[in-house]
Every structure is written in C-alpha cells, then in structure tokens.
Amino acid sequence: MSWNEYEIYLLNMINLYRDYFNFTLEEIKDMFDASPKCNNRSLHSLRHKLYRLRNENKNTTITKDSFIPQQILNYIKKKPYSVVEFANVFNLPEMFIDACIMYLEEANMPIRITDSGHVVYNSIKTETKENSKGKITEYVSYPDKYKIKFAIVSDTHLGSSSYNSNALNKFYDRCVNENITTVLHAGDVVDGIKIYKGQEFEQDYYGFDAQTKFAVENYPYRKGIYTYAILGNHDYSFIAHSDCDPLKKICDKREDIVYLDRYFGEIILGDFLIALHHPDSGCSYALSYKPQKILETITEKYDAYIIGHYHASLNLFNYHCLWSCLAGSFQNETNFARRKGLRTTIGGYIVELKRNEDGSTIVTPTWVQY
C-alpha cells in the first residue's frame, strides 16, 4: 500500500523532532491508528519508512520561528487554545501536541492547563505549595519576590440590579495601566438567591444558570490579569439550596479566574502570605469591631488579611498581622441595605508590599473609590 501525503508529512515531523520528543514506534503507531488520514501500518513498515525518510531529509533543520513549541507559546499569548485546536492548526495528532506542551512545561515556560483543557499563557507563573500545616496554597511568583503589587476587590454581586459594572471595569482598567497582573476577590462574586425576602425583585438575573452565565460573559476580562477568588455567603446560597457551586462553574469557563476556596483562602504572592476571608455575620456599630474580633482569632502570621462581606473600606496596621482591610464592594446601595441602614462603599485597593534587606516591610495600600 502506497504512503499518502499526510503520512509522509507526519513521519517527517516525527523525524525532525526526534531529538526533542523521541516517540517510540508503539506511540507512532498509536498516532497512525488514531488518525483517519493514516492507513493501518505495521511497526515494521513504520520503522522502515522512518529510516528512509530520515536519510532523504537529513539536511532539514528546525528554525526558531518554525519550532512548534515556540509557535504554541506565541499563539497562547493572544488567547487560550485547546489541544484539539492546536492539532487542527498544525495538522498534527493530539499526541504530538501533548508532547510539545510537555516540552514547554519541562522548560518552565509560563503556561498552565485549565480544567477545561485549554493551554493558557501566564505572565506570572502560578503553582501550588504546601504550607507549614500541610495545606495546599496557591502560589504566584514575581520577578522580585520581595517587591509585589496587586489589587483587591470584593462583593461584586453580579446578577444584582445594583451591580456597578462601570466602576468594576474602570478599576480593572486602572490595574492594566498600573501593570497589575493579580487581583484578589474576597467573595460574593454573584448575588445568589434567597438571602433575604424580596431579593429576587432587586435582581436583573435570577437563578444559578442566569447569574453564572452573566458572570462568565461580563466579569471584567483584561489580558494578562488573573483574578483569585473565594466563595462568599451570597455565592454559597446556590450550594445551600441546590448543591451547585457558581464560582466553580465560572472558573471552569474563565481561565483568568482561579478558585481558591469557600469563605476563606490563602495565597502566596512572591514572599508574602495573604489571607482572604468572607465572614457571614452582620455589621457592628463600630466599623473596626468585627475585623478586630476576626483578627484576634488568627494563629498564622499573615502579611495581609483581606476581609469581604461588609461593603466597607478600612485599614488596620499591625493588629495581629502586618496589614488588614475591609475590602469594599462593587454593589450600589440596594433597597434592603437602605432599609437596614447598612453602609455601602464602592471601590477597591491597589497594594504594594516591599520587604527590605534591613528586615523592615513597607505596606502601601491605595484605596480607589468610585
């Protein structure tokens, strides 16, 4: 049986990349068997044809621009791609593309594979590490781990009629202008259900499917920025009533949004350990009372402790941790908040942390209000 054009192309590519991937004959046969463009070939015929083609094309070389792993890196800098999409782009089997991606990972290139199977470019590399208590913590590396800059948002309440889309998008634009690539979200990404009587009359999108779809399509996306979020009590209402996790669904659809945990999460940015907390209790008369009581219970030595839920902004320095804050919100005053006399502050933080050689640490939080 004669060899068709695609079979020759595939074998030439395997030969060309043999120093990088070193496929076994069995793996090459698997590629042939899985491709509708290839005929059923024996191991003997594949070995013989590979050897002949290698001699015929022994002067063929790979240039930097034609190197497929480099081309994959260039593609994902523009947008995420799946392995299947890359297989179509390069007209190669998925196994060949998998080998290219593994090569990039082993070379410590700034990429990650999402739960949905997409290859994503990370300008800042994300890993997971075990802390002193054995808990897995998200880790984000910086060029200088002792000097970092990040942003904080909370209580966005997508789905609510009072969601302030304009302010949140302006805040993310500011992050772009200040070269920020990490945003921390302290919970209540969506508005949830049945938190209080009449809530459904204050929503533009009601129910799990409507709110998660709206969030996937409308939560601010800015190239190069990753948002790390925890679940808040409004998010959790869907789990309580229907055992569906809205944040997980959003993160499955959006590669730039990363799920940390429910109500409480930890993340390491460079050399700094940061906690995000979304309590589930009412406001106190004195704005600082609730965060003070929360901070008095912590045992870990955090550099920053970020508290959502209260829709207010507040800085606390050197109170059981280096710095803590109430993280504000991006939900305008609702009728419920007005009836209860609850405060609403629209805005977020931009924070710089710097660890100096003399052992001192400088914290520079900037509150951005809308």
- What is the reported pLDDT for 134? 46
- What is the reported pLDDT for 360? 92
Buried b (16+ CB within 10 A) or exposed e, 36-70: eebeebeeeebeebbeebbeeeeeeeeeeeeebbb
CA dist 89 and 56 (Å) reads 26
Q: Is the dihedral of CA 216, 217, 221, 223 positive or negative?
A: positive
72-100, pLDDT tens digit by residue? 988 887 777 889 999 999 999 999 999 99
- Average pLDDT on 218-241 reads 94
- Average pLDDT on 217-239 reads 95
pLDDT at 131 over 50: no
- Average pLDDT on 19-39 reads 92
- What is the reported pLDDT for 81? 86
Reduced to 3 states (helix: H, G, I; strand: E, B; else coil), residue 268 is strand
CA dist 185 and 250 (Å) reads 13
- What is the reported pLDDT for 116? 66
Torsion (CA) 32, 38, 41, 47 in degrees, nearest 10: -70
- How does residue 281 score in pLDDT terms, banded at 50, 70 and 90? confident
Among 98, 78, 79, smallest CA distance to 87 is for 98
Percent of the chain with pLDDT over 90: 68
Highest mean pLDDT of the ranges 13-22, 203-212, 334-343: 203-212
Highest mean pLDDT of the ranges 54-63, 117-126, 148-157, 352-361: 148-157
Rounded mean pLDDT of the chain? 89
Question: Cα 156–157–161 angle (5° rounding)?
Answer: 120
- Average pLDDT on 213-236 reads 95
Q: What does 62-91 look like in DSSP terms, one character per residue?
A: --TTT-HHHHHHHHHTTS-EEHHHHHHHHT
- Average pLDDT on 33-62 reads 91
Buried b (16+ CB within 10 A) or exposed e, 203-239: bebeebeebbbbbbeebbebeebbbbbbbbbbbbbbb
Other CB atoms within 10 Å distance of the CB of residue 286: 8
132-173, pLDDT tens digit by residue? 444 546 788 888 889 999 999 999 999 999 999 999 999 999
Q: What is the pTM assigned to this prediction?
A: 0.67
